[in-house]
Amino acid sequence: MELKPDPPAARWSEPRAAYDSLRTGMSPYLHYVHDLRAERGEAPRRDDHRPDAGTDLPGQMERAVQALIRQSFE
Amino acid sequence: MTALAMAILSAFQGLLDDPAGLLSEGSANPLDRDWENADPDDPAWEFLSPQALPDPGTGCIIGVIDDAIPFVHQRFTLPGNLSRTASVWLQDARFRSDRGGDLPSGAEWRGAELSELLARAATGDLPGEDAIYRLTGAVDLAHPAIPSGAFETGHGAAVATLAAGFDPADSRARNHPLIAVCLPPRITADSSGVLAPLPILTGILFIITRARRLCRFIERQGGLPHGSVRLPVVINVSLGLTAGPRDGSTLIERFMDAVSARQADDLGPVRFVLPSGNHRQDRLRARLRPGQQIGWRLPPGDTTFNAIEIWGPPQDHAPRGDLQITLTAPGRAPATTALTLPWQYSVLSDPDGRPLARAYYTPHRLRDGRWRDGIVAIALPTCPERLREPFAPPGEWRIQIAEGAPDGLYDLSAQRDAVIRGFRRGALQSWFHDPAYRNCDARGFPILTDAQNGGDPLAIRTDTVNTYATGDWPLRGGSAYRRNERATVPTALLNDTQPGDCLAPVDQAENNACMIVRGRDSGSFALSSGTSLAAPQLARWMALQLSQGKVLDSRAAIRRLAESQSARHAPTPVVDFPARFPEF
């Protein structure tokens, strides 16, 4: 009886932060597209960020939303 | 208004930086924040000709955000070649250095100058509408982006005329000035649509800013007191995504809700209409519990990325990496993420180091202050677009909510990957594969609800609604068959299984899809279908109701009004023919 070999392993890289500061409209998709364009030489390459560089981004995003709404009614 | 004008520029540095390459060369504002708040004192910069001004008491502005809106179409004019388009922002046109300094990119054209161009076209000084589109930059064949402004039957032409097109002789026309935003063609060319939220958001800001200025303009023209003209605004956005948290907490949803709920003291109420979406039957939605898994099928030969979003149950504590996913690529062993901090990402690679996919940890805060964990998984194209670029294997991938994640339901949705006619080809839709999901019943009829499906499928039809449209305020428009006024089969479902808040007839019947819509050039027409065409019909209906003084102070109020006017008001009211061709 022939045993089926184990499938080759795939592995996730060590996590890195996608962003270190808030950019309006930032998203995983935008990050991916930017990297793809950088690989193709169509956009500047981004610096790598520390794994904890994006820790405060959800809070910054919340404050930005509130500021945008406030600005719209001043 | 000063702050709002500044917001268009300053809050959207991301659009100016343009990391996704959406804008064509020459369209970005080179002045970089040298913005202006007031309109220049120039008659050519007036919003509308005096004979085209709406009634200050019964007018209602219609805003449309779309691709390639034909802003000088005859249906946006009044007798005498007067433009009813008060303002149009061509986001990707060559930047007008003498105009629109508060815009991050593109060109703005106002009604008075459009009227002048229309008059020149009428006398033969300009060779027709197409010459106006080329002169204004709406069609620029020197730009590398696909010139969708030249499409004879584009999406924006059908949508905008349904929302705001009138016979020039129609007495109602003058009361509905149009403020239009044409998105960069690369937004529509992107088969996933995921790059659209920021340009849409700037478009909403633009419409609100110009609507306020238009009100002040009407006051000055009529010698009316400052702040006395407060026209309502209905904004149609026939765009959407299929993946997202669907909890009303995205930036664009929160902004639409805030604008709708808060009453500015110098503008009437602002209301939004969006399509429900057309993906109920496409198996783009699933719900899993920790430890459960589902197949995610990636078609071969797909030159675009495929993505899914996973959103966890609400939690009271700040994000701490509770959610992990196990992704199994075809022929590979399962691999579980180890994302611990917000906005971290990891790359899934083969043993030889070739990348296959990415995962981003994107927790976000809910409107009630709680949190939801989120992960966005992006698989590389299954066919490289360029030689030597990495690619992912096609076939059945497996996605599992890792054991140990907090108990509860996890919402999964696959991002759309749809080719819009006229734009790039090569995009193919991924989907969830669940043996318990049945497409058709024993008679061959499509199964339309999870209840009809029976069993306990992981892939679901409920809550497939457009992910821009899960806030508290926007009206979600579903499409109905004209023959029986029932929701069309593809119309997506809300969380309560309704196919939208209201329906509008679009398709003839299940075997006879499409309705007559306007093409770009005056007099032309095309056939089209989908909830993109239901939304503008409802926007038009709402604008007419607001002009008549109806109070639409909540989504429920809008629905009640629709029910009161509908011959078929349950389970979802059908607003019957807000406009019949060739009225629009």
Q: Does the pLDDT value for residue B581 go beyond 90?
A: no
Per the domain annotation, does B280 fall within a domain?
no
Q: Is residue B574 part of a domain?
A: no
Beta strand extents in B334-455 (DSSP E only): 335-336, 344-349, 355-361, 364-365, 371-372, 374-379, 395-401, 410-414, 431-433
Rg of chain B taking only CA atoms, in angstroms: 24
How does DSSP classify residue B455?
S
**What mean pLDDT is predicted for residues B105-130?**
96
Query: What pLDDT does residue B13 have?
Result: 62
**pTM, to two decimals:** 0.95
| DSSP letter (8 states) at residue B469 | -
Nearest-neighbour CA in chain B from A2: distance (Å):
18
CA angle, residues B63, B549, B170, in degrees to nearest 5: 60
Per-position b or e across A29-44, b if 16+ CB within 10 A of its CB = bbbbbbbbbeeeeebe
Per the domain annotation, does B488 fall within a domain? yes
CB pairs under 8 A between A and B: 176
Residue A74: predicted pLDDT: 67
Q: Which residue has the tokens 């080809």?
A: B425
Q: Which of B164-168, B251-255, B465-469 has the lowest mean pLDDT?
A: B251-255
pLDDT digits (tens, 9 = 90+) for B51-64: 999 999 999 999 99
Shared domain check, B365 and B492: no
Average pLDDT over residues B501-530: 91
**What is the predicted pLDDT for the residue at B454?**
93
Q: What is the mean pLDDT of residues B540-566?
A: 96
The winner for highest mean pLDDT among B135-144, B159-168, B259-268 is B159-168
* pLDDT over 60 (residue B520): yes
Which of A4, A6, A13 would best serve as a mutation to test chain B binding (most B beta carbons within 10 A)?
A: A13
**DSSP 8-state symbol, B44:** G
* In a shared domain, residues B172 and B83: yes
DSSP state of B28: B
Q: Is residue B206 part of a domain?
A: yes
Per-residue pLDDT, averaged over B530-536, amounts to: 97
Q: How far is CA B468 from the centre of its chain?
A: 7
In this predicted structure, what is the pLDDT of residue B250?
Answer: 93
Mean pLDDT of chain B: 92
Confidence of residue B5 (pLDDT cuts 50, 70, 90): very low
Residue B516: which domain range?
476-565
pLDDT digits (tens, 9 = 90+) for B482-494: 888 899 999 999 9
pLDDT on residue B2: 46
What is the structure's pLDDT at B233?
98
B342 and B394 together in one domain: yes
Spell out where B362-433 has E strands. Answer: 364-365, 371-372, 374-379, 395-401, 410-414, 431-433
Residues 330-349 of B with CB under 8 A from A: 331-333, 335-349
What is the mean pLDDT of the segment spanning B566-573?
Answer: 87
Within a domain: residue B214?
yes
Mean pLDDT is lowest, of A38-47, B311-320, B505-514, for: B505-514
The answer to whether residue A34 is domain-embedded is yes
pLDDT at B35: 52
3-class SS of residue B233 = strand
- Of B291, B391, B284, B395, give the one whose Cα is nearest residue B336: B291
**Are residue B437 and residue B480 in the same domain, yes or no?**
no
Q: List the single best residue of B306, B343, B348, B362 to mutate versus A (max A Cβ within 10 A).
A: B343
Mean per-residue pLDDT, B242-271: 94
Interface list for A 23-52 with B (CB within 8 A): 23-34, 37, 39-40, 42-43, 51-52
**Which residues constitute the domain of residue A15?**
11-46
Over residues A16-73, the pLDDT tens digits come to 999 998 887 889 999 999 999 999 999 999 888 999 999 999 888 888 888 888 877 7
Q: Which residue has the higher pLDDT, B223 or B513?
A: B223
Are both B368 and B338 inside the same structural domain?
yes
pLDDT given at position B1: 47
Q: Does some domain include residue A52?
A: no
Residue B7 pLDDT greater than 70, yes or no? no
Domain total of chain A: 1
Asked whether residue B572 carries a pLDDT value surpassing 80, the answer given is yes
Q: What is the pLDDT of residue A5?
A: 80
Question: Is the Cβ of B11 closer than 8 Å to some Cβ of chain A?
Answer: yes
- Band (pLDDT 50/70/90 cuts) for residue B244 is very high
Please provide residue B129's backbone torsions phi and psi, each rounded to the nearest 5 degrees.
-60, -40
The predicted model gives B545-563 an average pLDDT of: 96
Beta strands in B67-214 (DSSP E): 77-78, 82-83, 85-90, 107-110, 178-182
Q: Are B492 and B276 in contact (CB under 8 A)?
A: yes
Residue B80: what pLDDT? 96
For B138-169, give the DSSP string. SS-TTSSS--GGG-TT-HHHHHHHHHH---TT
Specify if B373 maps to a domain.
yes
Task: Tell me how many domains chain B contains.
Answer: 3
Answer whether residue B29 is part of any domain.
no
CB contact under 8 A, A29 and B17: no
